[in-house]
């Protein structure tokens, strides 16, 4: 069994950030992301101000707002550049991952990226990870099947279902580590997505 998805358009925060190729702008964008990440490790997301981000990053407010429209955009940028889950790469598959491939790939990904995911969870912004996952799954292959999953499930529903499940699993992992090994996490994902827990 594998997951087949049509192109899915999520409410992607990346569209509200700088997408050009100016080297100075890209460097400033990177500095802002790094500065913000450092601040996020020191204090609550809700208490981080644009002024603090600018000071930590060494950029002006004008530069900041020309590159990002909000703190959420910075998180989306960090997710896309450093913490993006690519189903084809992480699951080592060509096309759509099977449940087994997804379980193995995502469990390994979560264990490796746990520190950042932990910050997202602690700051109640883990929903941004789900938005990132929606984008990843919608782009996991250049060609999309012409019919719905199993002939009846709309692709946007399938992607929402899978990514909300994976986000919940990531949240569970960061709340319960180090009590869960990568292999145990893989088993949890497989059991949930295969429906075995309902037997």
Question: Greater confidence, 62 or 151?
Answer: 62
Q: Distances from the Cα of 194 to the Cαs of 15, 164, 183, in angstroms?
A: 34, 15, 16
Domain ranges of the chain: 18-68, 87-198
Q: Over the stretch 129-142, which tens digit does the pLDDT of each residue have?
A: 999 998 888 775 44
- DSSP category for residue 91: T
Q: How far apart are CA 156 and CA 38, in angstroms?
A: 35
Cα 106 to chain centroid, rounded = 11
Angle at which helix 182-194 crosses helix 155-176, to 10 degrees, equals: 150
pLDDT value, residue 150: 55
pLDDT value, residue 156: 82
pLDDT value, residue 16: 65
Q: Over the stretch 152-179, which tens digit does the pLDDT of each residue have?
A: 778 788 889 999 999 999 999 999 988 8
Question: Greater confidence, 98 or 149?
Answer: 98
pLDDT value, residue 63: 92
pLDDT value, residue 94: 67
CATH second-level architecture of 18-68? Orthogonal Bundle (1.10)
Q: Over the stretch 20-77, which tens digit does the pLDDT of each residue have?
A: 777 888 899 999 999 999 999 999 999 999 999 999 999 999 999 999 999 999 999 9
pLDDT tier for residue 88 given thresholds of 50, 70 and 90? confident
pTM above 0.85, yes or no: no
The answer, yes or no, to whether residue 79 has pLDDT greater than 70, is yes
**Which pair of tokens denotes residue 152?**
């009846």
Q: E strand or H helix at 142, and its extent?
A: none
Most confident of 77-81, 95-99, 166-170: 166-170
């Amino acid at each position: 069994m594998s997951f087949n998805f049509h192109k899915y358009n999520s409410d992607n925060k990346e569209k509200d950030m700088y997408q050009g190729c100016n080297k100075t702008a890209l460097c400033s964008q990177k500095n802002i992301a790094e500065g913000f990440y450092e601040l996020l490790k020191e204090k609550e997301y809700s208490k981080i101000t644009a002024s603090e981000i600018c000071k930590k990053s060494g950029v002006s407010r004008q530069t900041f707002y020309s590159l990002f429209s909000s703190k959420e955009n910075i998180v989306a940028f960090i997710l896309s550049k450093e913490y993006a889950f690519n189903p084809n790469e992480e699951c080592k598959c060509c096309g759509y991952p099977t449940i087994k491939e997804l379980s193995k790939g995502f469990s390994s990904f979560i264990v490796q990226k746990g520190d950042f995911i932990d910050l997202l969870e602690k700051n109640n912004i883990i929903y941004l990870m789900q938005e990132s996952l929606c984008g990843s799954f919608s782009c996991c292959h250049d060609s999309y099947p012409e019919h719905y999953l199993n002939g009846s499930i709309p692709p946007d529903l399938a992607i929402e279902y899978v990514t909300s499940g994976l986000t919940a699993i990531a949240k569970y992992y960061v709340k319960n580590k180090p009590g869960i090994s990568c292999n145990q996490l893989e088993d949890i994902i497989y059991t949930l997505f295969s429906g075995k827990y309902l037997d």
